[in-house]
Chain A
Amino acid sequence: MNVLVDLGQTGRLRSPDREVLTLARTLAAGGAVTALTHAPRAEDVAAELGGYGVSILYAPEGEATDLSLTDTALLDAALGESGATLVLGPNDAETTDAFARLAVRHSAAVITDAVGMAADRTVTKSVLAGGYTTTAAPTTDLAFVTLAPNSVQAEEPEEGPAPEVKPLSVSVSGAAATVTGTREAPASSRPKLTEARVVVVGGRGVGENFSLVEELADELGAAVGASRAVVDAGWAEHSAQVGQTGVTVSPQLYLCAGVSGAIQHRAGMQTSQTIVAINKDENAQIFDIADYGVVGDLNKVIPQLIEALRERRG
């Protein structure tokens, strides 16, 4: 089958994009893999795409200032030119919106936040906050699927000829919102939460002294995460929230302190390889899924842990 990959707005390949490209090549099974970037400068992203077997990269001629409408039109145009029957993309808001709109326009199946897709187009998805795994298959020839991060082992690109870049120009009419300003998130020297090998998470039990969690994270070279209770209290940014309405992480080591382990939190971390929890309540739900649990006061355990880690490195 021919597969079209939507690479979103950033104009560079992020790790979720690499996962989608890897899956696209597998599913295409010799069919054409094409891609769309919504960022006007396509050259930056094109160079690497050949390594994933992408033959054509569609790119817009100008920058969009509206929300959703131009992005949807670009994807529709790329879809028309590519002849793809499967459109894949990472599970972000903009991609989901465009896929949902085109699913209506083309009466096609859309499945979001998938964790996998098989050659027979069966899509696997986790629902009810991770409590169930469902499989579903599109009944239409055309299907749109977004992939949850950390679902597929991303391949490193091989050597390959860079794709041909085809400019797309679209004109839109209809109602749309206007982006009036953009504030980039401050750059952090820590690894990205969704990509980190080790994630250290603080919950309400940490209290206002969230820097203790950050200190431990830095000692472990880890990304910093938080429960919603911590975000609601203003001790951490929303971008750090792990869980159903935050990010999903699946690191080698997930270490949390002062987190009770509510189902909505577990939804975002229960596929981590090793889970370590520190909590003073021995009945905390988080211990049900922890590989190693410490029943104790985090204000004593964490400083001692940091000290012990320093000594080991010593």
Chain B
Amino acid sequence: MSVARQDFTERLWGSFKRPEGPEPSRRKAFAREHIPAWIAIALGFLAWLITLPPFLVRTWIPSLILGLIAFTLALSTLYGGEKRYGAWAMIAALGGTAGAYGATRSGVANLEAVVVWGALMAAMLRYATPLTFAALGGLVSERSGVVNIALEGMMLMGAFFAAWGADKSDSWLIGILVGVLSGMALASIHAVFAVSLRADQIVVGTALNFIALGLTGYLYVDIYGDQGTPDNLPQVPELKLPTDSLGFIGEAISNLNLLVWGSLLAVLLVWLYVFRTTRGLRLRAVGENPRAVETVGIDVFKIRYLAVIASGGLAALGGAFLSIGFVHSFGENMTAGRGFIALAAMIFGRWRPWATLGATLLFGFSSALAQRLPEFSEQAATLFQALPYVLTLIAVAGLVGRSTPPAADGVPYQRESG
């Protein structure tokens, strides 16, 4: 497979081969050869931005010029052999110019109705939060070498049981706790089958998604019937900040749910844990080469169990935010595929916390925009909903940079007998 992939890449990018010289460092985002690409990306965005409120340039000539400069920079990056950065720069240049053209062709009133930056940013953060929690869960699990396609089911468990727990105990905190525990319970089943019984992880995950969907739907209908969850469901409080005067960013963050901040904190914590601690190193090592880890006396099974269960807790937290932080009720199948988008965000973010956050914010932004676009064009809004999936398809296809999973991801570990 890797041979086929290499052949294809060469065929596709053959003419853009980097000239002789040392391999560029992959880790440094701001290496010298990447600067033109970053400028091109910035210019592409700028080209689009100047046609939107509050700037509202009504002719697309300036955007075209900016776009052309960005295009040239992108081309030069491609010829320099930096395929990934060059491709992104190219997308930014073309997309920015196209967006600018579209914006200059639509009415000012429409633009001002759709593009309210403060509200858009706040909505972006809200839509991104459940995805961020779940994607972090997926990241922890897959870094340990267990594919977790049951994120969807774990979110759904979290969403239902958080609502149920909050309703029964009259406390949102206990609701969250119950929700997280339910996600962990489902994850424990995943761990038993995927780690101990070495069942196929994707098949188990699919099974758990069915079970979570059926179980939450069953209990919901049985407990709440036609009435739905009560209106006075305890809610996770909003955190009010006196930042309204600080421009649109201030507006965006002045009134956000506690769990939105929690998700950002979770990114920081997961990053610190996975990439800056010894235990995190072990976790990643188990995902890359479990046998080597075991030879130095570390328990592979234990690490995988803990990672999968933690993953369930994180995903359930995202579900809990949905039901008692965002929508304030529970409905059957309310996650509606968000677990799969989270999975996509994690792949898009290349199994790294900050890049994953970037992906969830991007997906959150496209949801926020899709929610506001119907005032402008119903059909455009519908097509916009498909954007995260198309982007992910492009990302996994490796056409724009390659997403390489942990080496032992999805491979059940078997101890050597004897």
A and B bind? no
| Chain B contact residues, CB within 8 Å of chain A | none
